[in-house]
Amino acid sequence: MVEAQRAVGQLLNQNLPLSLEGVRFVLDYYAERQPNIKNKNPADFVDTRFVRKLDEEGFFKKFIAK
């Protein structure tokens, strides 16, 4: 299992910031079925405090393959 985690860790981008453009893409997709979603602000659906705190504490660095 550890070896598999290392292999995957070497292939993945370890710095994956949240993209408001990505959230917009999802909102646009759902707006095709629910038009009231079209004018929503992507930032209203995102709270980065927890991820930012984990990053500051080095949580994600534990998973980076060496």
Residue 2 lies in a domain: no
Q: What is the residue range of 42's domain? A: 17-63
Nearest residue to 37 via CA among 22, 52, 26: 26
The residue ranking higher by pLDDT, 59 or 9, is: 59
Q: Give the count of domains, the chain.
A: 1
Residue 28 lies in a domain: yes
pLDDT at 40 over 80: yes
Model's pTM, two decimal places?
0.58
Q: Give the count of beta carbons closer than 10 Å to the beta carbon of residue 18.
A: 13
Residue 49 lies in a domain: yes
Supply the pLDDT for residue 64: 66
